[in-house]
Structure 1
Amino acid sequence: MIVGVPREIKDHEYRVGLTPDGARALHQAGHQVLVEISAGEGSGFTDEEYRQAGASIIQSAAEVFERAALIIKVKEPLLSECRLLHAGHILFTYLHLASSAELTKKLMESRVTAIAYETVEAKDGTLPMLRPMSDIAGRMSVQIGARYLEKTQGGRGLLLSGMPGVEPAHVVVLGAGVVGSAAVRIATGMGARVTVINLDLERLRILDEQYQGRIVTRAATQAAIEESVPTADLLIGAVLVAGARAPKLVSRRLVGRMRKGAVIVDVAVDQGGCIETTKPTTHSDPVYFVDGVLHYCVANMPGIVPRTSTGALTNVTLPYVLRVAADGVEPVMRSDAGFRKGVNLYNGDVTCPAVADAHGLRFTPLI
């Protein structure tokens, strides 16, 4: 199979869909790999490294899309890329279609087979291709929040850890999955006072045992949210419903009760955000204020640590890419129920129930 790797064009997106080692594995398996010129530079991979791995360097994205059957990306295609897709393509990337009716419609019109990293399930029900980027984003959320708490950035002027005789900042984390757990880890390590709110009490029990009383765990009730959010210096949205829009847990009214200069980092923004005042931003223009509260809502946070992110992503995507390239997408769909859940669109139909529900579209089962 011919596998294409175009350069990412989303704002400040420095990741690439495949490392040179990944290209080598595909080449050694007998597949042809086409990499757009300079696609790996943002992650520190040169065109020569891809050539030495057996890939061909292609001068334009249009040629990559024209020649390849399997398109490997990191982020969802921008509308300018959608015109390059057609019914013969298999698109394998993060899609987050539940948050974009326009992109869903464009991809349906192209009749591309669109497979979302974030909804492919492993045999144990986990999301193997979402986990590494969620882990990175969770860790970064605290690092970024700490920076924006600085007065020069518009924040309250707080050091996350406080000082002897001066209390630390209060970090409230909504969700205790991969993102939330990573955020708790970094915030606790930096000396903040941490409260984590989650529906699953077993996850809270695990975190409580892990941190031995150093964090506060609360069941996700409206009362818990109403009491905790106004006291947060840094509020991290880390809620995930696989493939679906994130639920709005924090209202505009509640944001208005937060202190001026408090910071919100909504990691769930790529699925619509879990805070009512959330709207997507970019690395070029990452923040805005609502009622004096600073919001950071960049949808591709791991894109600014691309060397780490690209390596971690290829580690988990490559086994699936090799299977699809070897056998074709239909046999893999039939034989692997978890992979089948990753197929969001097929032959112009919506094959992911969460995406269909989000946009009021008809759901068509694959089998």
Structure 2
Amino acid sequence: MIVGILKEIKLEENRVCMTPAGVEVMKMNGHKVLVEKKAGIGGGFTDEAYIAAGAELIESPKEVYERSDMVMHVKEPLPSEYGLLRKGQIIFTYLHLAADEVLTRAMIKSGCIGIAYETIQKADRSLPLLTPMSEVAGRMAIQEGAKYLEMHHGGQGVLLGGVPGVDPATVVVIGGGVVGTNAAKMACGLGAKVYLLDSNLDRLRYLSDVMPANCFTLMSTPATIRKLIKEAHLVIGAVLIPGAKAPRLVTNDMIREMKKGSVLVDVAIDQGG
């Protein structure tokens, strides 16, 4: 198979879908790998590293699409690429089609074969390609939330962990999956008072056993969210339904009840929010 590695063109996307080490493995298994010039620069991988691993360097995305049986991205194809999609070609990337009707229709029209990273499941229903990114996103959500709680970013000037004589911040994490669990761990580690909400009671029992003492697990209901959001300094949206649009659990009315200068980070926004 001829596999094409494309440079990301989405704004502020610095990742690359395959490292030089991945190219080497693909070559060992009999595949030919085409890599668009400067595809790995944002991730710290030079063109020379890809060539040394056995890839052929390609000047333009058009040529990568034309010559490849399968093209790989990190993020979904953008409108400038719709005309390059062709019948029978495999598009292997994060697609998030549930939240993007225009892209969905463009792919159907092209006749390409779309395989979304985020929908690939193992026998135990875990998501091996989504989980690593979810771990990163959950931890970064707390870092970003803490940053925007600083006064010069418009926040309340609240430290997540507080200081002696001052209460810690209240963090509400909606969703007890990979993103939510990692977010809660980070917030707990910084000393915040954390409420972790989920609608699965078995999951809550497990989380109650493994999370630190400053993490309080609660059943997720509209009433619970409505109550806690008024107290929260930082709210993390971390709900995902694989292959479907993420539900909207926080309403505009709830947001209006939040404290001035509090922060909301919705990790699931690209899947519907």
Q: Common fold, TM-score beyond 0.5?
A: yes
Q: Tell me the residue number matched to 2:46.
A: 46
Structure 2 residue identity aligned to 1:124? D
Structure 1 residue identity aligned to 2:176? A
Listed as ranges, the matches of 1:118-197 within 5 Å are: 118-197=118-197
Listed as ranges, the matches of 1:149-298 within 5 Å are: 149-273=149-273
Give 3-state SS (helix, strand or coil) of 1:225's partner.
helix
Structure 2 residue identity aligned to 1:213? A
Report how many aligned residue pairs link the two structures: 273
Structure 2 residue identity aligned to 1:246? A
CA distance in 1, matches of 2:106, 2:228: 41
Q: Tell me the residue number matched to 2:103.
A: 103
Listed as ranges, the matches of 1:295-334 within 5 Å are: none
1:14-59 Cα deviation digits (max 9, x unpaired): 0011010100111121211000000001000000110010001101
1:300-327 Cα deviation digits (max 9, x unpaired): xxxxxxxxxxxxxxxxxxxxxxxxxxxx
CA distance in 2, matches of 1:126, 1:41: 31
1:218-257 Cα deviation digits (max 9, x unpaired): 1012221111111110000000111111111111001000
Please, which runs of 5 or more residues in structure 2 have no aligned partner?
none
Name the TM-score, length of structure 1 as normaliser.
0.73
Are the equivalent residues in 1 in contact too, given 2:192–2:214 (CA < 8 A)? no
Q: CA deviation at 1:211?
A: 2.7
Give 3-state SS (helix, strand or coil) of 2:75's partner.
coil
Structure 2 residue identity aligned to 1:71? V
Name the TM-score, length of structure 2 as normaliser.
0.98
CA distance in 1, matches of 2:225, 2:106: 37
Structure 2 residue identity aligned to 1:259? K
Q: CA deviation at 1:92?
A: 0.5
Q: In the alignment, does 2:16 pair up with 1:16?
A: yes
Q: Tell me the residue number matched to 1:310.
A: none
Give 3-state SS (helix, strand or coil) of 1:15's partner.
coil
Are the equivalent residues in 1 in contact too, given 2:174–2:197 (CA < 8 A)? yes
Give 3-state SS (helix, strand or coil) of 1:77's partner.
coil
Give 3-state SS (helix, strand or coil) of 1:244's partner.
coil
Structure 2 residue identity aligned to 1:218? L
Please, which runs of 5 or more residues in structure 1 have no aligned partner?
274-367
Structure 2 residue identity aligned to 1:31? H
Task: State the superposition RMSD in angstroms.
Answer: 0.8
Q: CA deviation at 1:88?
A: 2.9
CA distance in 2, matches of 1:238, 1:252: 17
Deviation beyond 4 Å, 4+ runs, structure 1: none
Structure 1 residue identity aligned to 2:22? G
1:311-358 Cα deviation digits (max 9, x unpaired): xxxxxxxxxxxxxxxxxxxxxxxxxxxxxxxxxxxxxxxxxxxxxxxx
CA distance in 1, matches of 2:95, 2:45: 24
Q: Considering Cα pairs closer than 8 Å and 6+ residues apart, tell me whether 1 or 2 has the greater RCO.
A: 1
Distance 1:26 1:225, change over 3 A: same
CA distance in 1, matches of 2:124, 2:12: 34
Structure 2 residue identity aligned to 1:185? K
Distance 1:240 1:210, change over 3 A: same
Q: Tell me the residue number matched to 1:80.
A: 80
Are the equivalent residues in 1 in contact too, given 2:148–2:155 (CA < 8 A)? yes
Identity of aligned residues (%): 51
Q: CA deviation at 1:212?
A: 4.8
